[in-house]
Structure 1
Amino acid sequence: MDDKISQLPDDLLLKVLTFLPTKVAVSTSILSKRWEFLWMWLPKLEYDDSEYSPGERYKLYSFIDLSLPLHKAPVIERLRLNFDVYGRSYRAYSIEKLVLIAVTRCVRELSVTLVSTPYKFARLPSNLFTCKSLVILELTGPIFVNVPRMVYLPSLKFLILGCMVYSNEKSLHQLLSHCPVLEDLVLERNDEDNNSPFTLSVIVPSLQRLTLKISRGYHFEGLVINTPSLMYFKILDYLEEYARDDNSNYSYYFEDTPKLEEADIESTYPDINKFVRSIRSVKRLSLCIRVNADEEGIVFDQLQHLKLCSCGPNWSKLLVRLLKDSPLLRDLEIYLNEDHTSSRVDAPVSWQNQLDCVPTCLLASLETFKWTVVYVDHKKR
């Protein structure tokens, strides 16, 4: 029987291979001489060592080191590397070499995810920071980031930076300030990525979506956000156990965001009024915060959708304030964060002395109310 598939033109066969995982596409090289090197024209490559046994990983690394420099595609549109480095310092050097090859092939999407902490951190080639073709960049794990003085990423729109080690406090700011069209930023910081006090600054005029995960320890001193085009903002801000006895406050500056429509805030920041006041123009708001009972309200004159976590004390008093100060509220949900299921859920307090009149939203705008965790006083059952 004739092999009709092999009779198809190379361009069409290559198109078929693009729909397969890289591992499967490479395996077609054993089918016949016609297929032997066809996969080497693939514009998108993804290598994940979690699919291999520990013994097979050495063969995978050697295969990548040998094949990528010889890859025939003139442009590598996407390169994804997901490695568990297990402390092997030779892998750190290989990462730099592989990224360098991708940059010279005008890579558009680059993702490097490293698991475990090696004895030697992976480094990045300096020409990565001047790559004109790069649109999406994801870096996560034990990677040492040393941003050169000459940095400019004119096409970068999506950036994910996990917990890495920065050469100095100014490295991140220098990187972000030279991404003129950046629209989406996901950033995770903790004490380990800076061994000296640092302030996290996000000053990006073009940014539309910002997600921050901040693990606060002894070295975190402040947060500065200046993103006038921001439309979506999410922050997960928590204090490390070893720093609980330290001062949990930090300096905070959030420039006005007139275009902000949605915010998701989970924070232990003590001056929450100052924090939330910066996002009072949102239409969608999710809150998991700690508040004092005597704090003043903040008017959310555009808020239509509200989710409130009931894990902390005084949450029901916060709800009263939000009902009074959100005249356009349409959807309300009381929930318990999945990570806080062991938290104490306070029973709603009496509202008798807190509401002098029925909130406007209850009379005019509220359409749906959902309560996924209902408090039960077992002593009275």
Structure 2
Amino acid sequence: MELRSDLTLRSEPPLESRRLCRPRTGPYGNTDGVDNISGLPDDLLLQVLFHLRCARAVAHTSLLSRRLRGLWRHLPELSFRDLALGALETALAQVSRTELCLLDIDVPEHHRYSAAGVGSLLRTAARLAPVVLSLVFRGDMVGRDIPFELPIFHRATSINLNVINRVTWLRQTLPAQGGEFSVLERLSISGCHLDIDIGVLVLQCPRLRVLELRRFWHFGAGMVHLHSTTIEELVVAPDWWIGGIDIVAPALKKFTMDTYMSKDFNVSFLAPMVKDIHWR
């Protein structure tokens, strides 16, 4: 079975499928050999494909009817599993919609990737303007010292960037062109080397309510500065020690910190509304 660049599959269907596709000749069957799927309107077909929740599964439907071929490009939500970065970019380049509701990508363990490839994939994803973006990388990375840039996702309300492999680090920098994540409410970053001033990142997210920084390595192992009037939930869980925290968050209600601390660790914490604190 081969996944082509247009996400249609070429294979001989199993014998059982070929039998099922033949016109039935019983009293309740269609004896004219009419393709009833192809007669359905596009809106109805898209609703059916939407509920499959996986671009690869949608691609399989082209075996049932040629009418279904390529319709995945018009779906408002796209989920990709078990594809290398090159195949992902090829697929995303074919998407007809310019504003997605969801883009969910999971790169599995047996695929290798580079920071440059991740940056290119993010730029391609940004052009599709998803409302919810989730990127999970489980494999091994090549060229770990090459930073990648986090582009602006102007429609995103939720971004999740997760590197699962504990020996893999992505060096993440801020967009060179500046700009704002103007509607972003939830940001989760895990497994990245942050060449980022977290305070500056937060200033680029004027509506941010939830910030989760897990298994990150902060540049220079310095202080984590965060001043925000909107953040209500904050998680700071680096993979190694940091110099201290400087937090001013009048709306903060839940704070979690899990870090290594030296005797010189500095704490400045102003959050009068906080009700739930977990500190380890």
2:118 is the counterpart of 1:95: yes
Choose from 96, 101, 108 the match for 1:77. 101
Give the distance between the partners of 1:155 and 1:177, measured in 2 at CA.
12
When Rg is computed on C-alpha atoms for both structures, the one with the higher figure is: 1
Contact 2:252 2:271 in 1 (8 A): no
1:166-181 map, 5 Å: 166-167=194-195, 170=197, 172-181=198-207
Choose from 193, 197, 211 the match for 1:185. 211
Choose from 164, 183, 202 the match for 1:155. 183
Contact 1:87 1:120 in 2 (8 A): no
Structure-2 residue corresponding to 1:222: 244
Aligned AA (1:146): T
Structure-1 residue corresponding to 2:256: 234
Structure 2 SS opposite 1:228? coil
Structure-2 residue corresponding to 1:33: 66
Contact 2:222 2:243 in 1 (8 A): yes
Structure-1 residue corresponding to 2:229: 205
Contact 1:43 1:73 in 2 (8 A): yes
Q: TM-score, structure 1 length as denominator?
A: 0.57
Q: Cα deviation per residue 1:59-96 (whole Å; 9 max; x = unaligned)?
A: x555323221111223222212222466835x443332
How many angstroms does 1:207 deviate by?
0.9
Aligned AA (1:106): A
Give the distance between the partners of 1:15 and 1:231, measured in 2 at CA.
40
How many angstroms does 1:215 deviate by?
4.0
RMSD of the TM alignment (CA)?
2.6
Larger relative contact order (C-alpha < 8 A, sep ≥ 6)?
2
Structure-1 residue corresponding to 2:157: 135
Give the distance between the partners of 1:3 and 1:264, measured in 2 at CA.
61
Distance 1:197-1:94 versus aligned 2 partners, 3 A rule? closer
Q: Which runs of 5+ in 1 are unaligned?
A: 50-56, 268-381
Structure 2 SS opposite 1:34? helix
Distance 1:256-1:238 versus aligned 2 partners, 3 A rule? closer
How many angstroms does 1:226 deviate by?
1.3
Structure 2 SS opposite 1:207? coil
Give the distance between the partners of 2:156 and 2:236, measured in 1 at CA.
22
Structure 2 SS opposite 1:134? coil
> Which protein has the bigger helix share?
1
Distance 1:37-1:18 versus aligned 2 partners, 3 A rule? same
Give the distance between the partners of 1:76 and 1:250, measured in 2 at CA.
44
Structure-2 residue corresponding to 1:251: 266
Q: Cα deviation per residue 1:316-370 (whole Å; 9 max; x = unaligned)?
A: xxxxxxxxxxxxxxxxxxxxxxxxxxxxxxxxxxxxxxxxxxxxxxxxxxxxxxx
Q: Which runs of 5+ in 2 are unaligned?
A: 1-29, 164-168
Give the distance between the partners of 1:216 and 1:99, measured in 2 at CA.
27
Distance 1:41-1:124 versus aligned 2 partners, 3 A rule? farther
Q: TM-score, structure 2 length as denominator?
A: 0.75
2:138 is the counterpart of 1:115: yes
How many angstroms does 1:123 deviate by?
5.2
Contact 2:209 2:230 in 1 (8 A): yes
Contact 2:149 2:174 in 1 (8 A): no
2:278 is the counterpart of 1:265: yes
Contact 2:99 2:130 in 1 (8 A): yes
Distance 1:37-1:256 versus aligned 2 partners, 3 A rule? closer
Contact 2:230 2:251 in 1 (8 A): yes
2:25 is the counterpart of 1:12: no
Q: Cα deviation per residue 1:5-30 (whole Å; 9 max; x = unaligned)?
A: 44321112112211113121121122
